[in-house]
Chains A and B, each alone.
Chain A
Amino acid sequence: MDFSLLRNIISRYCVGEEIWVDSRTVYIGHKEPPPGAEAYIPQRYPDNRIVSSKYTFWNFIPKNLFEQFRRIANFYFLVIFLVQLIIDTPTSPVTSGLPLFFVITVTAIKQGYEDWLRHKADCSINECPVDVVQQGKVVRTQSHKLRVGDIVVVREDETFPCDLILLSSSRHDGTCYVTTTSLDGESSHKTYYAVPDTMAFRTEREVDSLHATIECEQPQPDLYKFVGRINIYTDKEEPVARTLGAENLLLRGATLKNTQHIYAVAVYTGMETKMALNYQSKSQKRSAVEKSMNAFLIVYLCILISKAVINTVLKYAWQWSPDRDEPWYNHRTENERQRHVVIRAFTDFLAFMVLFNYIIPVSMYVTVEMQKFLGSYFITWDEEMFDEELGEGAQVNTSDLNEELGQVEYVFTDKTGTLTENNMEFIECCVDGNVYIPHAICNGQILSAASSIDMIDSSPGGYRREHEDLFFRALCLCHTVQVKEEETVDGIKRGIHQGRPTSFYISSSPDEVALVEGMKRLGYTYLRLKDNYMEILNKDDEIERFELLHVLNFDSVRRRMSVIVRSSSGEYLLFCKGADSSIFPRVVSGKVEQVKARVEQNAVEGLRTLCVAYRRLSQSEYEEACHQLTEAKLALQDREQRLAQAYDIIERDFVLLGATAVEDRLQEKAADTIESLHKAGMKVWVLTGDKMETAAATCYASKLFRRSTQILELTKKRTEEQSLHDVLFELNRTVLRQRSISGLSVDCLDFGLIIDGATLSAVLKPNQERANPSNYREIFLEICRNCSAVLCCRMAPLQKAQIVKLIKASKEHPITLAIGDGANDVSMILEAHVGIGIMGKEGRQAARNSDYAIPKFKHLKKMLLVHGHYYYIRIAELVQYFFYKNVCFIFPQFLYQFFCGFSQQPLYDTAYLTLYNISFTSLPILLYSLVEQHVTMETLKREPSLYRDIAKNSLLRWPVFLYWTCLGVFDAVIFFFGAYFLFDNTTFTSNGQLMTTNTQMMFGNWTFGTLVFTVLVFTVTLKLALDTHHWTWINHFVIWGSLLFYVIFSLLWGGIIWPFLNYQRMYYVFMQMLSSGPAWLSIILLITVSLLPDVIKKVLCRAVCPTATERAQSTRPCLTVEPSTIFMLSQSSSRMSF
């Protein structure tokens, strides 16, 4: 916030005397207004450069450092480092400075690389070619060179390079069609208008001759709001002023459709375009694991502070007597002596903090980040999630949520395109109750039309015949389908491949294509739209021509569309098709009952139904309708609203013709996937805009509802009969009663809930009546909680997000996952904890906004049950292990303070302190967290119920955390006191016999520390080895390798007098220790004792109350019938024996 403010101030300041004005004036083609016109204040506009990158070459280092140190952990380490620099601390600043430097550098490199990619992406956008009219000629230039006032030529299917005011288009009426899919997700074509005074320009020269200015408001992010005025200067007369609205403004990011080219003038450029202003970074999603990790961190911070406080207090209590404080052999310097006791105490406190600061490890953040980043590659690499058809595999857009995939409790799925294929197929149509079924297509060839019509009722009659003709024509005419010749659309390749040049239909709605193709199979082929005449090839191979007069476009409120045509005989006809609910109320005659019955039957079978009706218009009626429509279209204000009114007046008094049924097939293995998700304990909700019957049928087909499922309905139909209040309470009672009867075994009878959008909004609406507002909500949630499956139909996109939000906010705070393929699912994908996009037919909007994108719904199974499960157990172990190993590391130091007069004497050498987390113990856990598979993939897929074992963050709950911490403390106590008893009051020495000199040598404090440290490194590494269930050669290499590295490092570190060090305290310490027999014996003993409790706990837990996962692990040997597994085992055993 403050940043943008600052920016504004700076930019204003730089512009100098310029005053911040509410409006801007754009000179079209940069032509000054004629003298005498109002004097405008010149303004400076940004160029059309889009900047999505964070840094520039110059500010990268300061800005990146600033951003990194804003993270609380990094800041903490920085503070520790600074404390070490300033005061006299037990460890050198290197110990914390080096890891911090490493972390900061790695992160900076990563972010720098990402920013470089962004720069590249920006560049490719900024440098894409744009055609600009200059001096009457079209000049090609780069997008970023575009300036406000430039006249731009945009051709069909091109994207607008900035926000433009439409001047003229290749269409005669000065309109153009645009899709704003990438802006708001609506895939329908929208119409934009040119000002009447400029729409006549046809050529560059004409456009260039325009002399006009545009006054408009300063940029604002609302996509649908624009206020402006165009002043057109002609030579003699007064300037003409026209108002401009949102219907004149073409937005950057939208695409021109169905219009050859347009001329338009740039008004907002670059970062001031509405798209740029609207681009909000996704709110950072944080996983549950991260939250518990932060909670653990706070616990550890408290432990750290209390340790430091305890030690400081004890120190001053202990050295109360001056003989302890300053014995004759150990005096302070004068400086120190003069320091005030409070300052001394505070310094001591800080010194203790520094000494124990390793308990919160820097490297944990790095390791977690690396684990997530590298681990996410396994998703993209997964061959099973690769779709041959699409040629794409799964895609990871954020790696922060990998483990959240293993925690999902609620799955919200879209129906169309997600559960179903969104591949519409015309199934049947019924005219007045008579059903027509086209025969199936064989190898793309249509069977002869005559045979395809199934005459059920052959009773002849002119009435019926007439309706049939009208019905087929209606379906052939009432649509916005376009015909494309093969070559023009997809290159020559497919044309050649097909062998013959055929045309095919394209439309924004797959239903329409299915209908028109279905008609083709029934004998009525829509040929083309030519000069506003629609041509149809009828059953008798005759071409019929209809003049297309008006199209009353589809919108989701009306849920219908109409066309007005004039037949060759001069009749005016209005054809309308739409959802049953929007057609039936407007029907005055026709066989409503029969059609309705058929529609309902089809809906129950899961087919998408549409009703078709028509109306004959007389000349006068037509003229009136025509008048209303044109008036509405030309209205400057409230155009949409007036159009809707006009549509409402025109579309009525229909005669019902019939209905169609289109099938949207279920996706492959959708049912299997849903069943697995159910078994894994997830609740699956289907959120769809479809009607209840269709959606319910899909739910049955996809096994969301089973035959045994008791369906609870919470629909408008029911709430009309009873009050919402009563329905809710009744349902709640039903659910509760069932539960109390069945007692513990809830599974025996499950409920399915069906709710529709209208009822949902009633439930969610803050209640105005006596009941308190959250009351309905609570009851609704209570019902939902007891339902294994919920179907929400008739949902608006925003309602989908609302539902997700509602569940997210319920008192258990479950982890939600939303999956969808269309732009209408984006809101819920963004809202849910994990958003998954399906790379579907409806564009890539969902995939782009999702956290993960998969080609098909069935891939969700592997994504959650296998990858999610793995990622969760991996990261859970990673987090717990990191805390554990640092407790083991630091707790002995804490204990040592009691034996060194609380003097902050470190137990370990600086090199060990520094490298413990960086190199001695970092790689094994990182590798574990990348490749561990506690159960095989096959088992996980076969037994989805294993997913329940890790539900509710079970591996990171407080008892587990406590266990790990206690284990760490126990191990630390063993290490420390083991070494203590060896050293204490005994001659723990190295036996000279191993060496050439026959002596007995004493060990000092560094040997003590080295002994503890050696036991420590071996114990924590072996502890991880015990936890590893999947030993690949890499595991062997890394685990044994890092132990070996420790030994080699220690030998080297103690083997040389290091010239750059000012102390040589480690010289030969490690070797001397190893030359002592008791040292070896005690190392072995202490490692054994440290590992013992964990082994016992594991074995006992497994033997006494094994979890499902543990059962699956132990039953594995019995199930290794699969040759591949045997092969693997034999291979691995041969490797082992090597």
Chain B
Amino acid sequence: MMASSYNAKDEDGHITVTGPGGGTLRSKKPENTAFKQQRLPAWQPILTAGTVLPAFFIIGLIFIPIGIGLYVTSNNIKEFEVDYTGVDMSSPCFNCSQNFSWNSTTPCTCTIPFFLEQPYESNVFMYYGLSNFYQNHRRYVKSRDDSQLNGDMTSLKEPSKECEPYAYHDNKPIAPCGAIANSMFNDTLELFYNDPNGTKVQIPLTNIGIAWWTDKHVKFKNPGAGEANQNLTAVFQGTTKPLNWRRPVYELDAAANNNGFINEDFIVWMRTAALPTFRKLYRIIKSPSNGMMPTMPRGNYTLEVVYNYPVRSFEGRKRMILSTISWMGGKNPFLGIAYITVGSVCFFLGVVLLIIHHKCGNRNNSADISN
């Protein structure tokens, strides 16, 4: 206690030197600089009703048109949604959803007819949507090995601990490891257009360009991607497929540039969604090159589903969504409404402030005079 209490000063930084010969030669006159004298030239704005009023009106005037624009654009976007979970008895997929088992070798298919009331122009985007699926669960989000997905050979053979319990199966490393990969969406969706003349035309679906370019080309790489003629089957030798997958990773797609880790369906799935209800891009329906015909004309369609993905156990839902896009993305009325609301509120506040400003300004002035 004594030793610790015997200090010139305890916590601060200024020590006075005392004792014999401790006369301190102290500072001379402080420098007269603007900074040291706290006299730096400064702009001194004050938020008064007077200065804020124009800002409010301007915000109002800018936001409302933007909002209207957004709202109109959003409304022009056509969107169609089909729930094919098969919860109801009447649903065509009811049987598939009831009789689901991981081990069944014969795929269960179901067919859902639907009717598009409006023709869909330009590119149409086809999504699958899941609800009540917690892709953002912490245990789930971290259950992946990014270096394995980046083509690292050691990580391929020794997946990260984060992948547990989806890292090894039968003492073989799982490629791709982790819960995310293991639970990859594996329903196959196909669209048919029922021509009025009775023929059933399959609509061509593109599965290229649905993932981020950087993901496909930089972040995700097949192991040994640098080699000249890589054989994916050989590269993945010694690993095993994720438990729930029907095919190994090197058989995801026939095309070499869409196989293995760089399969775009896989990449899309690997980007974990933010919320438990989400949709992911499945396919793109390119507009026909001649441009005269709408991509999807008004009429009857059939959705053929190979029902592989169980969601009933966690009360989930599966949907197929068709949507066109605009410059602002997909259908999103929220942004437009929000802009209109905020703009109007600002405008309204501007008016209120104007009144207050006039009233109080006068009162203050009179008060000043009386002083």
Contacts and interface: CB of A to CB of B under 8 A. Distances in A.
A993 interface: yes
Contacts of B90: none
B237 interface: no
Contact of B139 (A332, A997, A1026, A1128): A332
Interface core residue of A327, A395, A1026 (most chain B CB under 10 Å): A327
Contacts of A988: 329-330, 332
Contacts of B4: 3, 54
Interface string A842-876: 00000010000000000000000000001000000
Given A331-B179, A848-B16, A1057 B150 contact: yes
B274 A1003 contact: yes
A900 interface: yes
B42 A182 contact: no
Interface string A375-405: 0011011110010100111011111100000
Interface string A102-118: 00000000100110011
Given A1004-B271, A1133-B43, A3 B3 contact: yes
Interface in A229-284: 271, 276-277, 279-282, 284
Interface core residue of A117, A392, A986, A1100 (most chain B CB under 10 Å): A986
Interface stretch (A449-457, A530-538, A1091-1099): A1091-1099
Given A330-B140, A392-B27, A1005-B141, A1064 B328 contact: no
A997 B27 contact: no
A983 interface: yes
Interface core residue of B18, B29, B31, B43 (most chain A CB under 10 Å): B43
A284 B10 CA distance: 8
B219 A1002 contact: no
A1099 B364 CA distance: 14
A723 interface: no
Contacts of B43: 1031, 1132-1133, 1135-1136
B142 to A, nearest CB: 8
B329 A159 contact: no
B222 interface: no
A276 B8 CA distance: 11
Contacts of A986: 330-332, 334
B20 A158 contact: yes
A284 B20 contact: no
B280 A329 contact: no
A442 B348 CA distance: 76
Contacts of A397: 9, 12, 14, 16
A990 B329 contact: yes
A1031 B19 contact: no
A1031 B218 contact: no
Nearest to A1063: B146
B2 interface: yes
A128 B21 CA distance: 7
B141 to A, nearest CB: 6
Contacts of A113: 13
B336 to A, nearest CB: 9
Given A4-B2, A1078-B328, A1026 B47 contact: yes
Interface string B249-280: 00000000000000000001001111111011
A233 to B, nearest CB: 33
Interface string B36-67: 11111111111111001000000100010010
B228 interface: no
B90 to A, nearest CB: 24
B49 A1102 contact: yes
A4 B313 CA distance: 69
Contacts of B142: 1063
Nearest to B210: A999
Interface stretch (B103-111, B188-196, B353-361): B353-361
A381 B215 contact: no
Contacts of B346: 1088, 1092
Interface string A976-1018: 0010111111111111010111111111110111000000000
A1096 B349 contact: yes
B327 A1077 contact: yes
Interface in A1073-1126: 1076-1078, 1081-1082, 1085, 1088-1089, 1092, 1095-1096, 1098-1100, 1102-1104, 1106, 1111, 1113-1114, 1116
A323 interface: yes
Q: Is the interface of B mostly helix, strand, loop or mixed?
A: loop
A398 B213 contact: no
A903 B139 contact: yes
Contacts of A400: 11-12
A333 interface: yes
Interface in B145-163: 145-147, 150, 160, 162
A125 interface: yes
B321 to A, nearest CB: 8
Given A284-B10, A1099-B47, A323 B313 contact: yes
A982 B6 contact: no
A904 B183 CA distance: 21
Interface in B115-162: 123, 125, 127, 133-147, 150, 160, 162
Nearest to B137: A903
Contacts of A995: 213
A287 to B, nearest CB: 13
B214 A1067 contact: yes
B332 A52 contact: no
A159 B342 contact: no
B281 A1000 contact: yes
Given A333-B164, A1104-B356, A381 B275 contact: no
Nearest to B206: A999
Contact of A987 (B166, B218, B331): B331
B28 interface: yes
A419 interface: no
B325 interface: yes
A982 B334 contact: yes
A765 interface: no
Contacts of A388: 29
A891 to B, nearest CB: 17
A383 B31 CA distance: 7
A900 B138 contact: yes
Contact of A1 (B1, B10, B22, B47): B1
Contact of A330 (B10, B40, B139): B139
A334 interface: yes
A329 B214 contact: no
B339 interface: yes
B26 interface: yes
Given A382-B30, A1098-B47, A118 B42 contact: no
Interface in A295-319: none
Contacts of B335: 982, 1078, 1081-1082, 1085
Contacts of B139: 330, 332, 903
B272 A1005 contact: yes
Interface in A729-760: none
A981 B275 CA distance: 11
Contact of B330 (A7, A382, A1000, A1132): A1000
A1025 to B, nearest CB: 10
Contact of A899 (B2, B26, B164, B275): B275
B165 interface: yes
B232 interface: no
25 contacts: A114-B12, A118-B15, A121-B15, A124-B19, A182-B18, A327-B313, A332-B165, A378-B36, A383-B37, A391-B26, A398-B9, A399-B12, A901-B137, A937-B38, A982-B335, A986-B330, A988-B332, A1001-B211, A1003-B271, A1005-B274, A1008-B275, A1009-B274, A1067-B214, A1095-B52, A1133-B43
Given A905-B136, A1064-B219, A1081-B335, 5 more contacts: A51-B6, A124-B19, A383-B29, A391-B29, A1085-B338
**Which 9 pairs, one residue from A and one from B, show the smallest C-beta to C-beta distance?**
A987-B330, A329-B183, A1008-B274, A125-B19, A381-B36, A903-B138, A905-B138, A1004-B271, A1005-B274
